[in-house]
Chains A and B, each alone.
Chain A
């Protein structure tokens, strides 16, 4: 094969420059800034700055509320990833089988994907408000649901809000994944096995593994980082800080409490957590997935 190369040494840099500039300004500079903030003590306006080593880390991590936010975040990630993936998969399989009006179903199911997390939170607010909420009164009649007071009810509230938003994203990717599965394989399996349930778990699902793996990572990062707006517009950490995720806590400490040092330290810890999760996934899970 003929290798295509630029004649000039500089031309390629010219073409990647805009992209590099964006990455530099919006990614690398903030990261550098986060590191400097995390290792310095300063007031909200940036005065009285001095290097303080790991002081901010000790301050942030020794807080009992940090451990609580950590535990909640793990639970939050697991629940949201599981439910949004499985519901997305279920809907994708169903929509894939529909013959009439397929595109209508697809369009309707994709809609929520276009909604910003904060708007999802505000919408969920209407469903779960004590005075107006349909879901509030429905659950309240079932078991005395009251998220203002009860920790588990507050969990349910944020779980539903955050999951609902993500189902459609999972739906799109699963649907695309289903359509890449080659027809002959499906047809062959139809002859070999009568049970559609078994056919799905032994043929279709393994073939969807690359999609599933990709979605699990996407969902983990979603529930880790993007749900800030949802928490901020639903429970704001209610009843008493139990529904604060790590990102929300860092946001509150940094932008409400104006303690940039502690917020920076927390951000670095989060970066490390995501790094560990991702390395773990690529090492131990991906090895067991077969791409076509």
Chain B
């Protein structure tokens, strides 16, 4: 053996020996559906966690959109390459909760008990807690980025038109023409299935599917065409579109938001999380509760469903990894992190203790934008469940998109459109029920 080779071996041995003796931190993989600004916020949280302790290391990976991430992690799960924790959105909640019995998802509540995490169920805002809980109220997902639909208003336009922010759709009808006359688009909306369908039902305390929104029994049909209030709302929307009070820019989220960002529209219905991209771009805007028809609720205001996503614990990892993961979950729910996230992203703070902290430091006086989301989600008095458990919902949303377009373009009547949607949804619900 020549000398150079010997020296090489010695060098390699030396390098290995000089490696730190303490064990490498446990890697915790987290797949999420945040991109752009929101992704940098997640990375910042990961950095804070990694700096705060050295037992585990959080590695967040952005997998694109919420739809992409669901497909990506299911493929990974089937291949046994899944992460420890995954972020899955509202429409995927039924899919995830159904997987508890197959052992894919570990319920958050069980894991918190098992690994002795400081966990107070009552600290979570009930609307947020129940959306990702099973029918017995056991928390399955870890509420994290909770948004809801809100109304953004361009205050400069309102001033120019001499009108105020409306609380109800009746009030909106009273001012829409003035805004139009001032040369602006009165209203835009970015997600017909989410805002003007699912959340229409919760905002007006109406059931959206049979089986008590799927909480009591596997739903077999949606109740769109059977709900006169809902049909009236969409007939109004069509009327507004024809009058130029509402502008429909197709189904894409961004296309409907763009005129508001460009300062051409007075109101835009979007997500609480849209705030992070809007701040500093739109000069003078306010964030408000989504309007409702006071004639339909008797003047009462009901909460909307939670939007956004929750984090779900996946099976197939070691005990030490879960112990570390639960500590991380505890960290992510601390008032400080919640408030940081709330402030940066516009998502709701999911615990009362975070809201208390915010109040204590006078956060909402400094940033009134952040008030609406928590207020709207904390409204009480609903008699319907705080969510819906309907399978194949991502596809049902597709059916809604298509029929909404046909209604708005006048190809079919509003009533016919929702009848078609009910029929399409019933088929998809039956298809899902077969796999349970």
Contacts and interface: CB of A to CB of B under 8 A. Distances in A.
Interface of A: 41-48, 52, 55, 59, 63, 65, 129-131, 148-149, 236-241, 252-253, 255-259, 262
Given A48-B435, A256-B67, A258-B71, 6 more contacts: A42-B435, A45-B77, A131-B258, A236-B252, A238-B250, A240-B402
A59 B74 contact: no
A130 B427 contact: no
Given A48-B436, A149-B409, A238-B250, A257 B395 contact: yes
B394 A149 contact: no
Nearest to B411: A240
Chain B at the A interface: SS class: helix
Identify the interface centre among A41, A130, A257, A262: most chain B CB within 10 Å of its CB. A257
Contacts of B95: 43-44, 258
Given A240-B403, A253-B395, A130 B255 contact: yes
Interface stretch (B53-61, B96-104, B155-163, B182-190): B96-104
Contact of A256 (B255, B394, B434): B394
Interface residues of B, number: 37
Contacts of B1: none
B34 to A, nearest CB: 19
Interface string B387-402: 0000010110010011
A259 B405 contact: no
A129 B254 CA distance: 11
Given A46-B78, A252-B398, A258-B394, A59 B435 contact: no
A161 to B, nearest CB: 16
Contacts of B404: 240
B284 to A, nearest CB: 21
A45 B406 CA distance: 34
Contacts of B398: 241, 252, 256-257
A44 B74 contact: yes
B250 A148 contact: yes
B250 A59 contact: no
Contacts of B78: 45-46
Given A43-B98, A63-B427, A148 B435 contact: no
Contact of B102 (A47, A65, A149): A47
Contacts of A148: 248-250, 255
Given A45-B77, A238-B251, A257 B435 contact: no
A36 B394 CA distance: 24
5 contacts: A43-B102, A240-B403, A252-B395, A257-B394, A258-B70
A252 B255 CA distance: 21
A42 B251 CA distance: 30
A48 B98 CA distance: 11
Nearest to A131: B258
A149 B249 CA distance: 8
Please provide the 8 A-B residue pairs with the shortest distance between their CB atoms, ordered closest to farther. A148-B250, A240-B405, A43-B435, A257-B395, A240-B402, A241-B402, A47-B102, A255-B71
A50 B158 CA distance: 59
Interface of B: 67, 70-71, 74, 77-78, 95, 98-99, 102, 104, 248-252, 255, 258, 262, 392, 394-395, 398, 401-406, 409, 427-428, 431-432, 434-436
A256 B397 CA distance: 11
Nearest to B391: A43
Contacts of B403: 240
Contacts of B405: 238-240
Nearest to A148: B250
Contact of B74 (A65, A240, A258): A258
B93 to A, nearest CB: 13
A25 to B, nearest CB: 14
A238 B262 CA distance: 23
A55 B251 CA distance: 31
Contacts of B395: 252-253, 256-257, 259
B322 to A, nearest CB: 20
Given A43-B435, A256-B394, A240 B427 contact: no
Contacts of A42: 435
Contacts of A257: 392, 394-395, 398, 428
Contact of B262 (A41, A65, A131): A131
A257 B78 CA distance: 16
A47 B99 CA distance: 9
A45 B104 contact: yes
Contacts of A240: 401-406, 409
Contacts of A52: 434
B431 A149 contact: no
A6 B258 CA distance: 68
A129 to B, nearest CB: 8
B74 A45 contact: yes
Contacts of A241: 398, 401-402
Nearest to A241: B402
Nearest to B256: A148
Nearest to A63: B427
A154 to B, nearest CB: 9
B102 A45 contact: yes
Nearest to A150: B409
Nearest to B404: A240
A149 B431 CA distance: 31
A174 B398 CA distance: 42
A82 B164 CA distance: 56
A252 B251 CA distance: 16
| Residue among B77, B95, B98, B402 with max Cβ neighbours from chain A (10 Å) | B402
A44 B299 CA distance: 43
Nearest to A154: B250
Nearest to B395: A257
A65 B428 CA distance: 13
B82 to A, nearest CB: 10
B65 to A, nearest CB: 10
Contacts of B98: 43
Contacts of B401: 240-241
Contacts of B428: 257
Contacts of B258: 130-131
Given A45-B78, A47-B102, A48-B436, A236 B392 contact: no
A47 B432 CA distance: 12
B221 to A, nearest CB: 17
B249 A130 contact: yes
A255 B252 CA distance: 19
A65 B421 CA distance: 12
A186 B85 CA distance: 69
Contacts of B67: 256
